[in-house]
Amino acid sequence: SRIAIIRMNNKPVNALSMEMCKELSNAIKTVNEQQSTSDDAAVAPFSSIVISSSIPTIFSAGIDIKKELYQPNPKRLSEFWFSFQQLFLDIYGLPVTTISAVNGHAPAGGCMLSLACDYRIMRNNPRSRIGYNESKLGMTAPSWMSQQYIDAIGSHHKAELALLLGTLFTPHDALQIGLIDQLVDDDEVANAAATADNGGHDMNMNIVEMVAIQKAIEFNKIPLIARNNIKKLTRQPLLDQLNNNRQEDSDTFCHLVTSSKVQNFIEKYLNSLAQKSKK
């Protein structure tokens, strides 16, 4: 069985614009179609997918706020949200195993991408953060993202507090609370880098990807039909929840984002980023 690596490379921070969401969805669908239609015995189908980043300290900064949420065109905003929903559905509903190789920051939509995968691996960099912080912009994570959070954390109360406070967790704390399944420590990074230098790995592969590949090999020992059926049993309710309410979810999101209060929060946030960039 083959393992596909999908690397995000939308500099500077892998922000999720409508175009980026669609490109990711297309990449995922391309891999999945190869998995389902490969009849050539010489070409094994893909049995696992690793989602990663080409930017050293950023997995994904989440939604492209300036492009998609600030003073948005109503038609584009609705189209963007449908593409964002679809990206979640495409990853979360995949029959093959998915592993996120989180090499850096993953707030908000970046965290959603990671949580949509079956297994999450993160580099143990104390400067990195992951979590849903939408509340700090006056926004609310939609019901399906909130449920995703509750499912990962396993405690309704802890998830609720994290959502209310917009908490961004260090890798260590993310592991403790359940957002991450495995950390890659600095000594593992050094050892893997030495192996790569000696010709043991593709030099384009980052260290967290190498660990993710090893985990994918472990998953691939389980028959794909079993993995697929288990994912259907555990994931279908949330997939159905979103699929059956996509328009309502979009209407709620668009109404919230275009409100004057949220636009004021977004403007202040963008101004603060502009000030930081000048320092």
Q: Mean of the pLDDT values across residues 256-261? A: 97
Per-residue pLDDT at 1: 66
CA dist 156 and 213 (Å) reads 32
Cβ 15 vs Cβ 62: under 8 Å = yes
Q: Is the pLDDT of residue 261 over 70?
A: yes
The model's pLDDT over 71-127, given as tens digits with 9 standing for 90+, comes to: 999 999 999 999 999 999 999 999 999 999 999 999 999 999 999 999 999 999 999
Query: DSSP state, 39?
Result: -
Rounded Cα distance, 133 and 154, in Å:
18
pLDDT for the residue 46:
86
pLDDT at 221 over 50: yes
Q: What is the pLDDT of residue 41?
A: 43
Q: What is the mean pLDDT of the chain?
A: 91
The more confident residue out of 198 and 163 is 163
pLDDT at 42 over 50: no
Task: Please name the helix (run of DSSP H) or strand (run of DSSP E) that holds residue 180, with its range, or none.
Answer: none
Which domain, by its residues, includes 121? Answer: 2-278
Q: Within a 10 A sphere around the Cβ of 87, how many other Cβ atoms?
A: 22
| Burial class of 75 by CB neighbour count within 10 A (0 to 12, 13 to 18, 19+) | exposed
User: Which of 215, 136, 149, 146 shows the shortest CA–CA distance to 177?
Assistant: 149
Residues 6+ away with beta carbon under 8 Å from 156: 150
What is the amino acid identity at position 64? D
Is 52 in contact with 204 (CB distance < 8 Å)? no
- Kindly report the pTM of this predicted structure: 0.91
Whole-number pLDDT of residue 189: 60
- Residues 169-187 have a mean pLDDT of 95
Query: Cα–Cα distance between 279 and 274 in angstroms, integer?
Result: 9
162 is written with which tokens? Answer: 């994290």
**Residue predicted with more confidence, 38 or 154:** 154
> What is the rounded distance in angstroms from the CA atom of residue 184 to the CA atom of residue 98?
18
Domain of 156, CATH number, reads 3.90.226.10
Task: Please give the pLDDT value at position 199.
Answer: 44
Token couple for 272: 């603060």
CA-based radius of gyration for the chain: 19
Q: In angstroms, how far is CA 54 from the centroid of its own chain?
A: 14
Q: Facing residues of 49 across strands?
A: 4, 98
Q: Which of 196-205, 219-228, 270-279 has the highest mean pLDDT?
A: 219-228
Q: How many domains does the chain contain in total?
A: 1
Where does the pLDDT of residue 264 fall: very low under 50, low under 70, confident under 90, or very high at 90 and above?
very high
Does the pLDDT of residue 202 top 60, yes or no? no
Q: In what order do the strands lie in the sheet with 2-8?
A: 2-8, 46-53, 97-102, 119-123, 182-184
Average pLDDT on 162-171 reads 98
- The torsion of the CA quartet 254, 260, 263, 264, rounded to 10 degrees, works out to -160
